[in-house]
Amino acid sequence: MSSDVSPQAASAPPALSRLGPFRYASFTALWIATIVSNIGGWMYSAASGWLMTSISPDPFTVSLVQVAATLPMFLLAVPAGAVADLIDLRKFLVGTELAIAVISGAFALVITLDIATPGNLLLFTFLNGVVGAMQAPAWQAVVPQLVPRDNLQGAIAANSVGINISRAVGPALGGVILANFGFAVPFWLNAVSYLGMVGVLFCWRPSHRGRRHLPVEQFGSAIRTGFRHAKNNPHLKATMIRGAAFFLFATAYWALLPVIAREQIAGGPELYGFILAVIGIGAVGGAFGLRWLESKFGSDWLVAAGTIGTAIAMALFAVARGPAMALLASVVAGAAWTVAVATLNVSAQVALPDWVRGRGLAMFVTVFMGAMAAGSAIWGQAASTLGLVAAQFIAAAGAVAAIPLTWRWKLGTGADVDLTPSMHWPEPMATPDVERHEGPVLVTVEYLVDPRDRERFLAAMDQLGYQRRRNGAYGWGVFEDSATEGRMLETFLVESWLEHLRQRERVTQADRALQDLVNQFHSQGSEPKVTHFVGRERD
């Protein structure tokens, strides 16, 4: 909930009220606490950017604040996603919220003692980013535990609105506090703002996501399985490609905004905070209009519109020489950001089954923050070399050019796929001497196919191969008997017998429908023959 990448609902049946999620006390309490902590976070963000312009006004150095904030997410989101799928989310989030409060308090002390430098500012921003990266997938994975499934999209939408409310309040408040009370106070208030979240999390008692039938996955295996799933999930891959194209260019104004406010517009901290606040107000407006827009235009056109809006905002920032033009650009930027980012987030959410949700969302967040970190450095260097105006116009042109180049990758295609567990695989038989940790395991499935159906069978098997790999298999292949026409052998490997048992729990209703389609080509009127071989090696 506290992550800036909290998704927005793509669409929902008219019967689902926006207020539906607030019937659940845990969701409401966490929503309020998240707004408070996010207000503190936005005060920290605004104060950090302005502090850096005061210490070192070089555009590239200022852009490094954005790099330091986003790079940890790129580096750590994937292992954090594995953690989110394996551990008690409540205890983990309590620990990370306390860590952020301590880090923020330590930097507030550094500023109070007047020993802040560009180096320690970037260091503490990076440390905050590290903890934020570790908790971001957990926050996204926890939302389905707060409300029933039929209120999930409403909860996602409410989270997005809450984040944008804090985005509107936090920077403006931070700017006023900076101007009247100095640099240290916003950092102290940010540290205190996380304590309310810790209290709410202590009181929350989540419902279980489902009784575990098998031991928790090992960390390394969980990461490998998550990568296999993402690599073979076309819905998630399309979302990540479109996201990378957007974030690489859209990050330009975020990275350069402190310099734009101070050098180009000649404003003070109040104006900088107000610009950020107006971006948040625009984002709230975009969030409230998003459901209607999605129903009219669909996910692909919404992201395209958000990208064009972002390009227009960057062009307006480039020509702004006074507050009025900058504030107009801010409204457009906020609305466009919400439209694009929320739509991309929902496309990622609906592409993932529950068992790999944390890891899958982490892959998306990695792309999100990796593109932002790279873009921040690129556009900061471009501004230092070519000037602020040229850098913003080039970024705007690149964002628009990326739309046709990535149009073939469609969004939201996982929305109609039934990803609930099917549990239709029979439990595999094994002799008593087969231990769960043993492996690898070779699985073979023998099909007898009418030669006239050969091409259609192989086309269906290609899709089945992606499904097997999404659920943890590797080394998948199909072999044809050279001596017996129509005799086909599917083979794949899994890391261990325990991992094969986990596959059984991961198979979805959509996977079952595909397996049924493949089995229709088996001509013997019974199920294809499945055999399991456990690896045996002599020392």
Q: Secondary structure of 335-353 in the HEC alphabet?
A: HHHHHHHHHHHHHHHCCCC
- Looking at per-residue pLDDT, the higher value among 11 and 383 belongs to 383
Poorest-confidence range of 162-166, 334-338, 461-465?
162-166
Residues 6+ apart with CB under 8 A from 296: none
pLDDT reported for residue 18:
55
CATH of 20-206+219-405, one of 3.30.70.2700, 1.20.1250.20, 1.10.10.10, 1.10.3720.10: 1.20.1250.20
The domain 441-534 is classified under which CATH number: 3.30.360.10, 3.40.50.970, 3.30.465.10, 3.30.70.100? 3.30.70.100
SS3 (DSSP) at 286 = helix
Q: What digits encode the pLDDT tens for the residues 315-374?
A: 999 999 989 999 999 999 999 998 898 889 888 888 888 888 878 888 888 888 889 888
- CB 145, CB 206: distance < 8 Å: yes
- Give every CB contact of residue 18 below 8 A, 6+ residues apart in sequence: 154, 157, 158
Closest CA to 9 of 347, 330, 297, 312: 347
- Asked if residue 5 has pLDDT above 60, the reply is no
pLDDT in tens, 23-47: 888 888 888 888 888 888 888 888 8
**What whole-number distance in Å separates Cα of residue 107 and Cα of residue 184?**
9
DSSP bridge pairs for 448: 487
Residues found in the chain: 539
What is the pLDDT, as a whole number, of residue 1?
A: 47
Extract the tokens encoding 251.
């990050």
The whole-angstrom distance between residue 269's C-alpha and the CA centroid of its chain comes to 31
Average model confidence (pLDDT) across the chain: 84
Predicted TM-score of the model (pTM): 0.76
Q: What b/e sequence results for 223-262 when a residue is b if at least 16 CB atoms lie within 10 Å of its CB, and e otherwise?
A: bbbbebbbebbbbbebbbbbbbbbbbbbbbbbbbbbbbbb
Question: What are the C-alpha distances in Å from 42 to residues 39, 48, 117, 248, 275?
Answer: 5, 10, 21, 22, 12
Lowest mean pLDDT among 103-112, 246-255, 363-372, 454-463: 363-372
| pLDDT at 227 exceeding the cut of 60 | yes
- pLDDT for res 13: 36
Calpha distance 510→507 (Å, rounded): 8
Choose between 387 and 211: higher pLDDT: 387
pLDDT at site 504: 85
- Alpha-carbon span 364 to 237, nearest angstrom: 9
Residue 59 contacts residue 259 (beta carbons within 8 Å) = yes
508 DSSP β-pair partners: 421
Q: For position 70, what pLDDT does the model report? A: 79
> Which 8-state DSSP code applies to residue 421?
B
Each domain of the chain, given as residue ranges in start order, spans 20-206+219-405, 441-534
Measured CA to CA in angstroms, residue 374 lies from 68, 156, 210, 385, 387 at distances of 11, 28, 39, 17, 18
